[in-house]
Amino acid sequence: MLFIETDSPPPFYQERLTPARRKKLDQWFIGHRTQDYYLKRFEQFDKQGYLSPKWHWAAFFITFPWLLYRKRYMDALVYSVAGWSFIQLNITLVLVFFEFAAMSYIPDTYQMVTRIGIAAVIWLFWSFMVARWTDAYYYRMARREIADAIDDHPRDEAAQKDHLKSEGGVSLFGLGLGFGFFAFALMVIYVQFLPIIAKPKENEVLFNTYDIAKTTQNKVALIYQQTGLCPVDLALDIDEQQVRIQITTQAAGAPKTDCAVLATIQDVKFPIRYLNNQTLMFYHNIDDNNWRCTSSLNKKQAPAYCVDD
């Protein structure tokens, strides 16, 4: 699509056709959907005698579904394989270069955002280039199919019409297939790749939560041993904003306690927002005079010994 001939006259142009006849053939190929838009574009290319870039919003946002919608099945396959592979190769090369040349100068907090930004810029540039040449590409397809219809059926207008309607027009099935593919790709990203990003972040938050809760519990246990009282007013010096610590004499989930340290996860962002409001609690058990642990986290997330009684 990005390497369309800019010959004069445009490729496959049938000079012997009258304007009225050419318009009729164009209408058969385009179909009823957005016919006025494409007729206007085709007329512009015919008059200027060469192909030139125009802007096409659908191609910018949804190139693959648009190709399937316009029955360009083989081109959609080539675009999805060659085009996306080309984008991924460029993203990989730029990221590798940037990783060695400049990433060390970027603060750790912004490194992942920088990588995503680089990939997004490359993808947007590709989408921009495709969108500029889509109208010229579709015009070329129309002229090629019209030339084939005339060559194959020089005196049979009905057969020409059938050929153009078969090769042109739109396909709602193709449009649905395109969006279905995107939905499938998003599902794969969500199920397979998002956890790869989320897991290290999850581990970091869980480790900090456990470390802060355990450190606080050790202080509370020492004071409790010395005084026999739960230090609910103990001043805590905690910089971690994602963990809220509460010292209490009563706690849900631990009815037989007179002192508990409750750590609650808060304000974590995507993709680990599911950790918000999850708790980890160390509590003093009155019956056996021991400190125990319980958590709302699942068995894979919580420490091995920290499970509900």
Asked if 55 and 159 sit in the same domain, the reply is yes
| Cβ contact 283:251 at 8 Å | yes
Same domain assignment for residues 40 and 121: yes
For the chain, the domain total comes to: 2
Question: Is there a domain that residue 1 lies in?
Answer: no
Residue 246 lies in a domain: yes
The pLDDT mean for the chain works out to 89
Residue 110: inside a domain, yes or no?
Answer: yes
CATH (domain of 257): 3.30.700.10
* 214 and 264 assigned to the same domain: yes
Q: Give per-residue burial for 243-263: e unless 16+ CB within 10 Å, then b.
A: bbbebbeebeebeebbbbbbb
Tens-place pLDDT, residues 199-224: 898 999 999 999 999 999 999 999 99
Q: Are residues 155 and 212 in the same domain?
A: no
CA distance 271 to 296: 19
User: Which residue segment(s) compose the domain that 44 sits in?
Assistant: 19-170
* 135 plus 51 within the same structural domain: yes
pLDDT at 103: 85
- The interaxial angle of helices 108-152 and 157-167, nearest 10 deg, is 170
The confidence score (pLDDT) of residue 251 equals 85
**Token pair for 283:** 């509590």
Is 300 contained in some domain? no
pLDDT tens digits, 130-181: 999 999 999 999 999 999 999 999 989 999 999 999 999 999 999 999 999 9
124 CB contacts (<8 Å, ≥6 apart)?
A: none
CA–CA distances in Å: residue 188 to residues 92, 102, 117, 125, 270: 20, 31, 21, 25, 17
Q: Is residue 212 part of a domain?
A: yes
CA distances from 292 to 160, 213, 241, 303 (A): 82, 12, 25, 12
Indicate whether 302 belongs to any domain.
no
* pLDDT tens profile 58-101: 999 999 999 999 999 999 999 988 888 888 899 999 989 988 88
Domain check: are 273 and 216 in the same one? yes
Q: Which of 170, 189, 216 is the last residue of a domain?
A: 170
Residues 48 and 153 in one domain: yes
Band of residue 104 on the pLDDT scale cut at 50, 70, 90: confident
Asked whether residue 271 is domain-assigned, the answer is: yes
Which tens digits make up the pLDDT trace of 220-244?
999 999 999 999 999 887 877 899 9
Mean pLDDT of 20-31: 95
Percent of the chain as helix, strand, coil, to the nearest 5: 60, 10, 30
For residues 159 and 251, membership in a common domain is answered with no
Task: Give the burial class of 96: count Cβ atoms within 10 A of its Cβ; 0-12 exposed, 13-18 middle, 19 or more buried.
Answer: exposed
Model-level pTM?
0.68
From the CA atom positions of the chain, what is the Rg in Å?
32
**182 found inside a domain:** no
The answer to whether residues 243 and 102 belong to one domain is: no
289: left (phi over 0), alpha (psi -120 to 50) or beta: left
113 and 226 together in one domain: no
Cα three-residue angle 27-32-38, rounded to 5 degrees = 60
Residue 1 has pLDDT above 60, yes or no: no
Same structural domain, 222 and 120? no
Task: Please tell me the predicted confidence (pLDDT) of residue 24.
Answer: 96
Mean pLDDT score, 42-57: 91
Neighbours of 111 (CB within 10 A): 13
Helix (H) or strand (E) holding 220: helix 194-227
**Cα–Cα distances in angstroms (integers) from residue 206 to residues 103, 133, 162, in the given order:** 27, 50, 65
Statement to judge: residues 151 and 255 lie in one domain: no
